[in-house]
Amino acid sequence: MVCEALSLIIPFFTNLASKDAKLATNRYNLCRSTPRIRCSSSSAEGPVTADKLENDYALTGAAYDFERGTISITRESLSSPKKVILVRHGLSTWNEEGRVQGSSNLSVLTEAGVKQAERCRHALANMHFDQCFSSPISRAKTTAEVLWQGREEPLVFLDSLKEAHLFFLEGMKNVDAKVIHPKEYITWREDPANFYVNGVYPLRRLWATARDAWREILLTPGESFLVVTHKSIVRALICTALGLPPERFRSIDVNNGGISTFVFNKRGEAMLKSLNMTAHMYSDHVYLS
């Protein structure tokens, strides 16, 4: 569409003779009429009009159905629209110690991490979930067990929700890893998409497992799901749902206990509704929907 503004000129005048003043006033009144914008469309459908907008979309400020607004993460139709709540696990021992965690199962929730999980449970208490999916790794598993306490459906543990495998960096303190393995560590921190060990690119592999996780979750019967997992895989889930490549990995951050929300239409297309909500970490905030 091409739009052009019709310019208006407002003259400035003083000390005019009466005849000239009358003429100038007439010109001024002509010029001060409401500015207009003229638009034309080069599309085959013709110009976009207010009537067409009203027919196509609900002009209420709410999001409208987003057909072809993004790409389908499932590449097949879903039985119904879906809502997915992503939660990062609570604070762990290796978080606290500044260690590289990766897929290791040796890091467990701290007392503070358990309290964070309890805050998440309280914040989500009024929400209905058909199912809860979790990484089987201890720190996420324990968080999920706290969150899902009192719910009827059993927890479902998915290997596709495991954290990225970071090989020999796992368990090392960040300050030590930077000294002992400077090339690998700096690549992981500054260019993670190109971090590799023995020909394996952990982040690119994580993108593939994130897509697998989305398919497992979204093709499950039900309309509302809770997912509890780790920082890197949460980033990968968000990026893959939005069609972002591994190079955008560090453009998204999530806190321990942070909550993010997606909705998916029946074509499996994603819309991010909220990212890394943490109000419940500092108050008794409860999310209603």
Strand partners, 125: none
For 156-194, how does the pLDDT look when each residue is reduced to its tens digit (9 = 90+)? 999 999 999 999 999 999 999 999 999 999 999 999 999
Any catalytic annotation for residue 285?
no
Indicate whether 114 pLDDT > 60: yes
pLDDT of residue 50: 36
**Binding site: which residues?**
88-95, 139
Task: Assign 17 a pLDDT band (cuts: 50, 70, 90).
Answer: very low
Phi, psi of 214 (to 5 degrees): -60, -45
| This prediction's pTM | 0.77
Q: Angle at the Cα of 144 (from 289 to 155), degrees rounded to 5? A: 95
Q: What is the mean pLDDT of the chain?
A: 83
Q: Where are the beta strands (DSSP E) in the chain?
A: 2-5, 37-40, 82-88, 131-134, 156-157, 224-229, 259-264, 270-277
For 194-244, how does the pLDDT look when each residue is reduced to its tens digit (9 = 90+)? 999 999 999 999 999 999 999 999 999 999 999 999 999 999 999 999 999
**Binding site for substrate: which residues?**
88-95, 139
For 37-79, how does the pLDDT look when each residue is reduced to its tens digit (9 = 90+)? 334 333 333 443 333 333 333 333 444 455 555 789 998 999 9
* Active-site residue identified among 76, 163, 181, 184: 163
* Active-site residue identified among 54, 89, 145, 153: 89
CB burial of residue 210 (10 Å; 0-12, 13-18, 19+): buried
Looking at domain 82-281, its CATH architecture is 3-Layer(aba) Sandwich (3.40)
Q: Contact at 8 Å (CB) between 69 and 214?
A: no
How far from chain centre, in Å, is Cα 65? 18
- CA–CA gap between residue 195 and residue 180 (Å, rounded): 16
pLDDT of residue 71: 83
- Of 224, 230, 206, 213, which Cα lies nearest the Cα of 261? 224
- Which is more confident, 19 or 68? 68
pLDDT of residue 46: 40
Task: Assign 92 a pLDDT band (cuts: 50, 70, 90).
Answer: very high
- Of 46, 127, 33, 34, which Cα lies nearest the Cα of 85? 127
Q: Where are the beta strands (DSSP E) in 145-223?
A: 156-157
pLDDT of residue 59: 34
- Residue showing tokens 């690549």: 187
pLDDT of residue 67: 58
Q: What proportion of the chain, given as a percentage, has pLDDT over 90?
A: 74
- Residue boundaries of the structural domains of the chain: 82-281
Task: Assign 25 a pLDDT band (cuts: 50, 70, 90).
Answer: very low
- Give the HSE-up count for residue 78: Cα atoms under 13 Å, Cβ half-sphere: 26
Any catalytic annotation for residue 122?
no
CB burial of residue 165 (10 Å; 0-12, 13-18, 19+): middle
pLDDT of residue 30: 40
